[in-house]
Amino acid sequence: MAMDLRARKRVLLVMYVAVFGVLTTSTKEATGQTIGPIFIFGDSTMDVGTNNRIENCSARADHPYYGIDFLGSQATGRFSNGLNTADTIARLLGGYDMSPLPYLALVEGGSNFTRGILNGANFASGGAGLAKGIGKQFYGQVVSMEEQVQQFATVQGNITALLGASKGNRLLRKSMYIFSIGSNDLMTYIFTRPMTPEQFVINLTDTYAIHLKNLYHMGARKFAIISIPPIGCCPIARSLSGGSCTDDTNSLARACHTSFESLLNNLSSTLKGFKYSLANTYNMTMSIISKPIGFKNVTSACCGDMTPQGLSDCKEGVHLCETRDDYLFWDAFHPTQKASELAANALVFSQDPDFVSPINFGSLRKA
């Protein structure tokens, strides 16, 4: 007899955990005195399968050639040839083999949900933005940052119900909250330009502040922020501008970083116990593009064909480079597994304030 839909979903979740070995953090470890779980928010740079579970969503990476270098060449929903930045950051911070499970996968787990969230969750959704409507006009249904925070509220409520208010709040204060979002807001602005660039940066920063404060009031204290990279140099941008980086897009990314830095400094001064680490992915990426040590190609996509409209989607049948580690970019927008690993190592361990400040992610984890 065929399994019903709920049973099939539970089997898939068990297979996901068994095959990929997502977590090694135990509940006892997570509720101890020295470490808390990791919660990840963001867009496609951090999505590890959220969008696979959303109906009417076209921003998906659950098909070849995505995942070609993942275990078993599985297309897991990561916008990468293998692991993404969320995976490597979680592993380097300790207690994880790769990113925590997607929140929606934990929901599918039913009775295992409460136990699962004690090991953290990944809320990131490809196409999402800080503003609620971002991505939906291009990709259909995605999980905005506002909705990701609402999902975390469910997690927070379940943790405090399970452990009690005192232990639950202590666990949440010891946890790490990682964010990589804003690029889709910037790209949408570039195409629509409904306001001045200065007002866009102000609005985006104010929206970020609302989300961070909401999480703070739910117990979050350790905020690791990955700012907007030079998306004007990604392959799709180059394909639409004759091969060069687009300066107006990149200047906005730099302005957003400066504004985020001021915001975080202010929050750390006004909110008791608020700690942060801010990654300057603009500087990190441009340092590789200007001096591509370890890469042979820092301009083109490993997966995709040129079309009159720019660069095609990465899918089975398009051009696929043979040596993925030679490329900085995997597809039109996203880094390769190798590039993600280099970025994660810098975020967790670098002492260079041009890359991450005022402390790195590793120091924030221990704070």
Report d(CA 117, CA 152) in Å as an integer: 10
Looking at the DSSP assignment, which residues form a beta bridge with residue 140?
Answer: 57
Q: Is residue 14 part of a domain?
A: no
Q: Is residue 94 part of a domain?
A: yes
Q: Is residue 9 part of a domain?
A: no
Residue 136: count of CB within 10 angstroms of its CB:
16
Q: Looking at residue 109, what is its pLDDT?
A: 85
Q: Is 251 a catalytic residue?
A: no
Q: Is 334 a catalytic residue?
A: yes
Q: Is 44 a catalytic residue?
A: yes
Report d(CA 267, CA 298) in Å as an integer: 36
Q: Looking at residue 34, what is its pLDDT?
A: 57
Q: Is residue 111 part of a domain?
A: yes
CATH of residue 345's domain is 3.40.50.1110
Q: Is the pTM of this model over 0.85?
A: yes
Phi-psi region of 160 (alpha: psi -120 to 50; beta: other; left: phi over 0): alpha
Q: Of these residues, 87, 125, 334, 350, which one is catalytic?
A: 334
Q: Looking at residue 69, what is its pLDDT?
A: 98
Q: Is residue 13 part of a domain?
A: no
* DSSP 8-state assignment for residue 102: B
* H/E element, 307: strand 306-307
Q: Of these residues, 43, 331, 340, 350, which one is catalytic?
A: 331
Q: Is residue 314 part of a domain?
A: yes
* H/E element, 298: strand 297-301
Tell me the one-letter amino acid at 193.
Answer: R
Tokens of 53: 């579970």
Answer for the pair 130, 150: CB distance below 8 angstroms, yes or no: no
* Of 287, 212, 227, residue with least CA distance to 257: 227
Show pLDDT as tens, one digit a residue, over the chain (367 residues).
333 434 333 433 433 433 333 343 433 444 344 589 999 999 999 999 999 999 999 999 999 999 999 999 999 999 999 999 999 999 999 999 999 999 999 999 887 898 899 999 999 999 999 999 999 989 999 999 999 999 999 999 999 999 999 999 999 999 999 999 999 999 999 999 999 999 999 999 999 999 999 999 999 999 999 999 999 999 999 999 999 999 999 999 999 999 999 999 999 999 999 999 999 999 999 999 999 999 999 999 999 998 877 899 999 999 999 999 999 999 999 999 999 999 999 999 999 999 999 999 999 999 9
Report d(CA 322, CA 171) in Å as an integer: 45
Q: Of these residues, 44, 180, 227, 340, which one is catalytic?
A: 44
Instruction: State the first-to-last Cα distance of the chain, in angstroms, to the nearest integer.
Output: 53
Q: Is residue 1 part of a domain?
A: no
Answer for the pair 232, 253: CB distance below 8 angstroms, yes or no: yes
Residue-number span of the structural domain to which 255 is assigned? 21-366
In the chain, the number of structural domains is: 1
Give ∠ CA 145-259-339 in degrees, rounded to 5. 65
Q: Which residues have a Cβ under 8 Å from the Cβ of 130 and sit 6 or more positions away?
A: 144, 145, 181, 182, 185, 204, 207, 208, 211
Report d(CA 360, CA 367) in Å as an integer: 11
Q: Is residue 10 part of a domain?
A: no
Q: Looking at residue 7, what is its pLDDT?
A: 38
* H/E element, 285: helix 281-290
